[in-house]
Structure 1
Amino acid sequence: MDQSLMLMLSNLLQLHNHLDPTTSLISDLTSSSSDATSPTSLLTTTSAAPLLFFTIASVLSYIASHPTSKLATKTKSLGKSTNSNSKAQPSSDEFSVAAFRALSTERIWAMESSTRDAQWRSMYGLSYPVFTTVVDKLKPYITQSQLSLPSDYAVAMVLSRLSHGFSAKTLASRYNLEPYLISKITNMITRLLATKLYPEYIKIPTLRRRVAETTQGFQEITSLPNICGAIDGTSVKLHKLPSDLINPSMYYSKDGHPSILLQVVADSKRRFWDVCVKAPGGFDDATHFRDSLLYNRLISGDIVWDKGINVRGQHVRPYIVGDWSYPLLSFCLTPFSWNRTGSPAQNAFDEGLMRARKMAEEAIGLLKGRWKILQDLNVGLNHAPQTIVACCVLHNLCQIAKEPEPEPWKEPEESGTPPRVLENEKSFYYFGESLRQALADDLYQRLSSR
């Protein structure tokens, strides 16, 4: 027992004996008497009751004034266990507007920047400065919507959902709001990110300076000239499909989960410069690519990259690279083989191309690692595309700000055969074959001469 508690009880006993010296004598008499109704017994009860009452009161007072004592700890634990047998849930007071305001305005600047940003990332997926950037850019549009909640509070709520993958029901219990309101706010914020911020943070590099920076970045990684992007696709698992969907089977991907496809084109810094979410999970990458706005702009000549170079008599303009699931075209080069069974020059080209393509693969891994809602998308199917695009915008914001990179999501290994060439693609295919071979021969010669 605690020494201070023993001392307190000893002092109480001495005090009582001093006030009532007959106590010890009466106690001895009662111990030898078997008659519970004797006058001696009645006298003992009468005399000991004040001491007992006073002792209990003192012990309780001691516990209250010594919260770190073992007895106090056990008492608190007992109180918690009697309230609920389930796992303790955070109180809604912790997520109230007042609590958020106290953190974001009163205590945030008292913290060291590293501590502040680490805490903010753990809650909302990005540091406090990046968070304020998002809020400042969205605030005018949120204000126009006449939302009854503060703009920064609403953005923080949605970011916590995107970052941790919380359902609307979970957030509703945390923030003491109705689930339908959580869904409404999520849809509004993701729509604003996907429409208002998309043109600023996700755009095709058409300016000469940006094209030069992008191709130079890839050349340092691959030794191949004029690569301006790496294309890749991934399926985003849907938590569930609507019960009234006409053809649900088209949404099931190879892994057996309902999903929709995300196609991205990334630069050498693993930032997206094009994003497309148009196909159900049952479609392949080539079909999704051919249905995208990027493909139609490239094949129609709407996008023209002027930075051309001459390689072994071939005029090579900037191009994107993809794996064997994409069609070989003059503006989209793919490997000669999927298992490195070509000539030495072809194998060298394939190795360089796959190093470039890895930038898109890693970007997707970071995207799903940072915004965990994309690992099991728990929003309505109608709002799924904008939620995915919103996460892509936030990914670019984090990459531009050089935020610490999370543990990346591991994509399953892909396999398959090259897609067939469409009639309208034949001229682009033959030109792509010539360009690819010229680049392979040029690369192999340069590598051999080193």
Structure 2
Amino acid sequence: MDESFLLMLSNLLHLHNSLDPSTSLLSSASSTPSSSSVTSSSPSSSLLSTSSAAPLLFFTLASLLSFLACSKPNNKNRKSGSSPRPAPPANGAYTVAVFQSLSNDWTSAPLRDAQWRALYGLSYPVFTKIVEKLNPHIAASNLSLPSDFAVSMVLFRLAHGYSAKSLASRYNLEPYLISKITNMVTRLLATKLYPEYVKIPASKRRLNEVTLAFEELTSLPNMCGAIDGTPIKLRSFPTNESNLYRCEYGYPALQLQVVSDHKKMFWDVCVKAPGAVDDATHFRDSLLYNRLVSDDIVWDKVINVRGHHVRPYVVGDWCYPLMAFLMTPFSPNGSGSPAQNLFDGMLMKGRSVVVDAIGLLKSRWRILQDLDVGLSHAPQTIVACCVLHNVCQQMREPEPDVWREPDETAAPARVLESEKSFHYFGDSLRQALADDLHHRLSSR
């Protein structure tokens, strides 16, 4: 059933319970509606007394909404800017009391989860899990608001992309307080929850799971991840450094670099460069690059391919330097040999998981489509959204339509003098993998 229809139906059920509690479809015969579900905008007393009209009104409206939901066009693979934000609710419409009523006054989990996803980008069980993990840290901050209400407010902002000023009327709070709570919650997500949900596949069990899944997808052995970068559009940036922040698409941005596994979960996240910096430079400035170059990451899985010892490697497009631990295509235009072109096709098939993961990230947390926070808090907000993305993937939340960006047009990365030995071994390993792949597939 369409999620938006579930949301509308849930609102109708609340209306129906208010009009005629004795005929509630979801409540048992012994249950009574919660008094907290009736807000200041409750129906008039004369309408409440006319209980006989309630069932007819409910089913008439439900039938109409069902027809509209069925006739709604299916908008797959949204393009940039094609999904308008919903209008904020009326002034002071979302107090702590209203939130608690929404949390408690439910008898149907699917309807509650539909409402939660529409508001906060994730289901109620995932929401409660996040609150449970953040609650000790929020409680220690002596915040005057309940932890679950504070987290819900931040999730609403991240899911819909509103500024603190635009949310002030919804929550009846000052914009500075909304910004303060947003900064606190995103900082906790980016620091306290990051180590738990963003992990390099270092254990033998996890590494085998990832490499075997990528091999099933691409026929390439020992692939352990796919890397890519994406610009995060900024509202606030230093005007005297506008050229430094202007990305290839023409708008001011910060660069986000992620490495994804086969489940579209990020196992490394880096936000260290303004928008004008290219992917290769951002990669070289990352902690991941330094750990790979220094052999700080120990991957206990080595295979032999045509006499070459192949350790686990990441794949990326030609914007990244070819290294022993980072495989890139032979050619961006298919001008290689048959074996090389076959390898390029399979490599890009593996790389597609990180493209989809970034698309899901920006679709779930729409604030990343136009980041309206202070520049000093922008990196932690981006990382917090990546953590939330991993929580959703781990909890198997439904995946929304993927946000799509234009194809990259950057030139192939050049090789630095300090990288020549890594590049030499990478080139040798890549050719061995390509020849082995061509031999195995052509002999079938």
TM-score (norm 1): 0.79
Greater gyration radius? 1
Residue 135 in structure 1 maps to residue 134 in structure 2: no
Aligned to 2:213: 217
d(CA) in 2 for partners of 1:123 and 1:65?
32
Distance 2:88 2:360 in 1: 30
1:210 partner amino acid: R
Check the 8 A contact 2:92/2:169 in 1, yes or no: no
The answer for the alignment partner of 1:267 in structure 2 is 261
Which residue number corresponds to residue 187 of structure 2? 191
Aligned residues between the structures: 367
| Alpha-carbon distance between aligned partners in 2 of 1:397 and 1:64, rounded to the nearest angstrom | 43
Once the 2 structures are TM-superposed, how far is the Cα of residue 63 of structure 1 from its aligned partner? 11
* Equivalent residue, structure 1, for 2:152: 156
1:249 aligns with 2:234: no
* Cα deviation, residue 91, structure 1: 3.4
User: Does the 8 Å CA contact 1:203/1:274 hold for their aligned counterparts?
Assistant: yes
Q: For 1:42-441, list aligned pairs within 5 A.
A: 90-105=89-104, 107-108=105-106, 110=107, 112-242=108-238, 246-441=240-435
2:436 to 406, 423, 442: 442
Residues 219-246 of structure 1, C-alpha deviations (whole Å, 9 max, x = no match): 0100000000000000000013245xx5
Aligned-residue offset at 1:65 = 8.6
Please give the TM-score of this superposition, normalised by the length of structure 2.
0.80
**Paired AA for residue 345 in structure 1:** A
* C-alpha distance after superposition, 1:89-135 (max 9, x if no partner): 73345310001111112x13x1x221111110000000000000000
The structure whose RCO (Cα within 8 Å, separation 6+) is larger is 2
SS of equivalent to 1:373: helix
One-letter amino acid matched to 2:89: P
Measure how far apart 1:415 and its partner are.
Answer: 2.1
SS at structure 2 position matched to 1:103 = helix
Taking a change above 3 Å as real, the CA distance of residues 371 and 89 of structure 1, as seen in their structure-2 partners, is: closer
Identity level (%): 66
Point out where structure 1 has 5 or more consecutive residues left out of the alignment: 1-60, 69-86
In structure 2, C-alpha distance between the alignment counterparts of 1:64 and 1:309, rounded to whole Å: 73
Q: Which runs of 5+ in 2 are unaligned?
A: 1-44, 54-85
- State the alpha-carbon separation in 2 of the partners of residues 139 and 304 from structure 1: 34
Deviation of the 1:408 alpha carbon = 1.1
Map of 2:72 onto structure 1: none
Query: How far apart in 2 are the matches of 1:142 and 1:220?
Result: 43
Residues 440/91 of structure 1: CA separation in 2 closer, same or farther (3 Å cut): same
AA aligned opposite 1:152: D
Deviation, 1:416, is 2.8
Q: 1:93·1:99 contact (CA, 8 Å) conserved in 2?
A: no
C-alpha RMSD of the superposition? 1.9
Does the CA contact (< 8 Å) of 1:239 and 1:377 recur in 2? yes
Deviation at 1:417, TM superposition (A): 2.3
